[in-house]
Amino acid sequence: MVEDAVAEPLLRWIPLLPMLSAVLHAVLLGVLRRPLAPGAVVAISCGTPLLSLLCTGVAFSSLIALPGGGGFLLDPAYTWIGGGLGAAAFSADLSFQLDALSGVMALVVSVAGFAIHVYSAGYMRADARDDRGFQRFFCYLNFLLSAMLVLVLADNLLMMFLGWQGVALCSYLLIGFWYGEAENAYAGSKAFIANCVGDLGLLVGILLLFWSLSEAGAPTISFRGIEAAFADIAERTLRLPGAGGHEVLLVDVIGLCFLLGACGKSAQFPLHVWLPDAMVAPTPASALIHAATMVTAGVYLVCRLSFLFAAAPAASTVIAWVGGLTALFAAMIAISQRDIKQVLAYSTMSQLGFMFLAAGCGAYAAAMFHVVTHAFFMALLFLAAGAVSLVLHHEQDLFRMGALSKRLPKVRVMMLVGVFAIAGAPGLSGFFSRGEILVATFSSELTGHRVLYWMGVLTSLLTSFYAYRMYFLVFEGESHVEREVRARLQEPGNVLLGPLYAFAVLSVLGGYMGLSQFWGDMIGIDRSDSLGNFVRTVVVSGARDGLSAGTEWRFVATAVAAWALGAAGAWWLYVRNPAVVERVTGSLATLGHVLSNGLFIDVLYERVIVRPLVVLSDRVLYRGVELRLIDGLAVNGTARSIWLLAHRVLRLPHSGMTQGYLFLMLIGMLGILLYLVG
Amino acid sequence: MLPIDHVIGLSAVLFTIGTVGALTRRNLIVMLMSIELMLNAANLAFVGFNRIWAANPEGSALDGQIFVLMVVTVAAAEIAIGLGMVIALVRNRDSMNVEDHSVLKW
């Protein structure tokens, strides 16, 4: 395996450059307390991601130039933990690898990262609420990019975990960026805690995997090593404790542990609750963290370990169902949201659900394809939404916008491209990548794959509906914008619009990178080097073949119908007959209430987990263990018992009575005498 | 010549009287007197044993008697301090009763 590796010392600079910039900002702000001028901040913070993007590009092109499939670039920068000899040798290296999977992901992260850095330069200039916020924001953003690149380029699980935690930290910092408001700080903590629950699963999974591999005689945590030694543990079973000797596959257990981690990071049910709240972050951060890059880390993890999940049928089924259900219910919730960023948050969750669905069905390449296209169109949507709310003075309520198409023509076109892409209009990126997922779902052999397929189709319809609903509410219909704001509306500057153009182009063309065999033949593009086939050199191939052209056309027709129905429905309800919306909302008030509160899952967690935990902490742990047991019994109890001993017992002979002393002295002397005599 | 048993017997009786007196009598002067009694019981024992010791070829004729002189010296010093303390106590509390002086602890 390792003989395919080609040394490439450039790789370490990809995460290191943004890290250097972040450290520079941190030192200047935190230690020297000497903030830089905004121009310098932009030069440093956008320059390093650009350099890092160039490094990625150079490395990627040399990866492509490698002869044959399966080769990869490796940069063993430093042996972090090393020990053992011979067959028992173990080492965890700070080493970076660039193969097809991490290459594609790193490119997406670098491109999206750089574009969003540029956008932030415009956005945060207009939005800085305290004097050092501007540089602080870029410090976090650089650090986030760096951590994400570490996560993607890591060649072993431990280092990936390092990046995984790094992005969680940045996500926390950026969500609570305007920490002056308690709500924001709370949302940041919530995201961090939900992620920690997932990280526990990830950590247990890593340790289980390492433990079983060491027992099989191959103590390794590098992805290549695990894959090479995986056959030794693939068949191993575990006896469940207390379940009547029921045995489960070890890889299923490990897979479920990893799934928990992936759910936390990628906001899948039941750990999705942090993502909607995370929308209090500045919009560029939302675009980078909660749409384009960080949340796809869970999908990336599953694809990275595709050989493990391919051997774990139960875990894969759970992944597919978690993904399918999350996709459906998040799309339902997205329909009912008033806040533009909330719509996008639930939409992200829903698209991530599609990726999990694909990964669960074994179509890892399709999942990665959707990761890529989703990064483009979701970043586009987020940035366009940010531009709209910025010119409206931080207005995020959809029902207080409207009729902006004449005032903001450029933003409108960009938003429209994003909406078409996410809704799955034929020819745009979302159409191809989601179509690929749905076909893979249909042709998989999973339990209930037909149900999952139709759930996916329904979700596509809802996706189309909420995307167009958002567009119509913002740009069409009647204006609900305050008059004086409306009078002074003007398009944002080119710094903001440039990244939008870039993402719009990528959203349109992104789909043609990963055309399926069917579409390749249809359009006449040679697809032997398509994204899917490229990624399949690394991930387990969930190749589907043998579908007849007629079947393929039926899938296409279903997808187009879902898109058209959703779009037409949104147009009919929000442009043609807005009165109907009010009537329908009135009669379905309960349903709307349930949906707009996110199915009350937050409330459920509040009641079932948070409050019992608070009661447990307060009543039992604080008042019981801390105050009574430790303070009362252990600390004060010791002091008090000594005092009692002295007060009740030791004090008695010390009476002050001379003759008492004399008597005791006599007894003492008699005792000594008796001892001496015999 | 008096048998040694009688001398030791007398000494024991005197010592017991002194001990009981020191423990039971509440008058400070009487307590001091009782202590003197115990010391003198010890002196008597010294003198009595000295006679046996003098008959021993390795012994000497005066050891016990010298001890008695030492004890008498110590007793004189002790009674000087003791009486001084008694006077101080009586001036302070206007009482010869030992139970009135029970706060001298700490």
A301-338 per-position pLDDT tens digit: 888 888 888 888 888 888 888 988 899 888 888 888 88
Give the per-residue pLDDT at A1. 39
Distance from C-alpha of A220 to C-alpha of A158, rounded to nearest angstrom: 10
A666: which chain B residues are within 8 Å (Cβ-Cβ)? 19, 23
Q: For residue A309, what pLDDT is reported?
A: 84
For chain A, the average pLDDT equals 82
Between A349 and B59, where is the model more confident? A349
Burial readout A26-63 (b: 16 or more C-beta within 10 A, e: otherwise): bebbeeeeebbeeeebbebbbebbebbbbbbeebbeeb
Does the pLDDT of residue A586 top 70, yes or no? no
pLDDT of res. A132: 60
User: B19 and A657 in contact by Cβ < 8 A?
Assistant: no
- In this prediction the ipTM stands at 0.81
Of A656, A662, A666, the CB nearest to B102: A656
DSSP A568-635: HHHHIIIII-HHHHHHHHHHTHHHHHHHHTGGGHHHHHIIIIIHHHHHIIIIIIIIIIIIIIIIIIII
Query: Which residue type does A254 have?
Result: I
Chain B partners of A654 at a C-beta cutoff of 8 Å? Answer: 105
| Closest chain B residue to the Cα of A660, Cα to Cα | B23
As a whole number, the mean pLDDT across chain B is 89
CA A70, CA A67: separation in Å to the nearest integer? Answer: 9
Q: How far is the alpha carbon of B79 from chain A, nearest alpha carbon, in Å?
A: 17
Q: Does A590 touch chain B (CB under 8 A)?
A: no
Which of A656, A657, A662 faces B22 most closely, judged by CB atoms? A662
Chain A residues touching B99 at Cβ < 8 A: 657
Q: Hey, is the C-beta of A653 within 8 angstroms of any chain B C-beta?
A: no
Phi, psi of B3 (to 5 degrees): -70, 150
pLDDT of residue A670: 93
Ranges A185-189, A284-288, B30-34, most confident: B30-34
CA of A663 vs chain B CAs: smallest distance (Å) = 7
Nearest CB to B98 within list A659, A663, A666: A659
What is the per-residue pLDDT across A435-492, written as a single tens digit (0 to 9) for each? Answer: 888 888 888 777 777 888 888 888 888 888 888 888 888 887 777 777 777 777 777 7
Six-digit token string for A62 = 């040399």
Q: Do B23 and A655 count as a contact with CB atoms less than 8 A apart?
A: no
Compute the distance between CA of residue A274 and CA of residue A171 in angstroms, rounded to an integer.
Answer: 11
Q: Which of B23, B24, B105 sits opposite A656 (nearest CB)?
A: B105
pLDDT digits (tens, 9 = 90+) for A46-73: 888 888 888 888 888 888 877 766 678 8
Say how far apart CA A668 and CA A671 lie, in whole Å. Answer: 5
Contact between chains at A658 and B31 (C-beta distance less than 8 A): yes
Closest CA to A543 of A294, A310, A342, A381: A310
Q: Tell me, what's the pLDDT at A2?
A: 44
* CA distance readout (Å), A163 to A87, A141, A153, A224, A589: 28, 14, 9, 18, 44
Nearest CA in chain A to B103: A656
A652 touches chain B (CB under 8 A): no
- Identify the residue with better confidence: A634 or A244: A634
For A163-176, how does the pLDDT look when each residue is reduced to its tens digit (9 = 90+)? 899 888 888 888 88
Nearest beta carbon to residue B98 from set A654, A658, A666: A658
CA dihedral A628, A630, A634, A639 (to 10 degrees): -80
Chain B residue with the nearest C-alpha to that of A653: B105
Q: Does A650 touch chain B (CB under 8 A)?
A: no
Between the CA of residue A429 and those of A385, A433, A515, what are the distances in Å?
A: 20, 6, 10
Contact residues on chain B for A662, CB-CB shorter than 8 A = 22-23
Question: Cβ contact (<8 Å) for A655 and B24?
Answer: no
Give every CB contact of residue A468 below 8 A, 6+ residues apart in sequence: A419, A423, A566, A567, A570, A571, A574
Of residues A129 and A602, more confidently modeled: A602
CA nearest neighbour of A441 among A367, A378, A369, A512: A367
Q: Which residue has the higher pLDDT, A58 or A535?
A: A58
Single out the residue of A189, A232, A242 nearest to residue A212, CA to CA.
A232
Token couple for A641: 């018992």
Output the pTM of the full model. 0.77
Pick from A301-310, A590-599, A656-665: least confident: A590-599
* Separation CA A257–CA B34 (nearest Å): 89
**Mean pLDDT over residues A71-82, rounded?**
78
Residue A68 has a pLDDT of 64
A659-667: long-range contacts, CB 8 A cutoff, minimum separation 24: A659/B22, A659/B23, A659/B24, A659/B26, A659/B31, A659/B98, A662/B22, A662/B23, A663/B23, A666/B19, A666/B23
Q: Provide the 8-state DSSP code for A36.
A: P
Which range scores top for mean pLDDT: A2-16, A367-381, A426-440?
A: A367-381
Residue A543 φ/ψ, nearest 5 degrees: -65, 135
pLDDT higher than threshold 90 for residue B39: yes
Q: Could A659 and B101 be called an inter-chain contact, meaning their C-beta atoms sit closer than 8 Å? A: no
**A contact test, residue of B25, B99, B100, B103 with most A CBs within 10 A:** B99
Q: Which residue of A651, A654, A659, A661 is the best one to mutate when testing the B interface, meaning the one whose CB has the most B CBs within 10 A?
A: A659
* pLDDT tens-digit readout, A279-309: 888 888 888 887 777 888 888 888 888 888 8
pLDDT tens profile A190-224: 888 888 888 898 999 888 888 888 888 778 888 88
Least CB-CB distance to A657: which of B22, B24, B102?
A: B102
Q: To probe the interface with B, which of A650, A654, A657 has the most B CB atoms within 10 Å?
A: A657
Which of B27, B98, B100 would best serve as a mutation to test chain A binding (most A beta carbons within 10 A)? B98
Q: Is the Cβ of A673 closer than 8 Å to some Cβ of chain B?
A: no
pLDDT in tens, A538-583: 777 655 555 677 777 888 888 888 888 888 888 887 777 777 777 7
Distance CA(A286)–CA(A276), nearest Å, equals 10
Q: What pLDDT is attached to residue A561? A: 83
- Please report the pLDDT score of residue A523 as a whole number: 66
User: Measured between CA atoms, how close is A645 to chain B, in angstroms?
Assistant: 17
- pLDDT > 60? residue A117: yes
Chain B contact for A656, CB < 8 A?
yes
Residue B42 confidence (pLDDT): 94
The C-alpha torsion from A61 through A65 and A71 to A72, rounded to 10°, is -20
Please give the Cα distance from A494 to A512 (Å, whole number): 28
Report the alpha-carbon distance of residue A367 to residue A101 in Å, rounded: 11
**Nearest C-alpha neighbor of A299 from the set A273, A276, A322:** A322
- Average pLDDT of the segment spanning A621-645: 90
CB atoms under 10 Å from CB of A418, counted, come to 30
Query: Which has more confidence, A28 or A85?
Result: A28
Residue of chain A whose alpha carbon sits nearest to that of B105: A656
Q: Which residues of chain A neighbour B103 with C-beta distances below 8 Å?
A: 656
Whether residue A151 contacts residue A297, with contact meaning beta carbons closer than 8 Å, is answered with: yes
Cβ pair A663:B23 closer than 8 A: yes
| A526 pLDDT tier (thresholds 50, 70, 90) | low
The answer to whether A440 and A361 are in contact (CB under 8 A) is yes
More confident residue, A599 or A646: A646
Q: Which two tokens stand for residue A574?
A: 């929000």
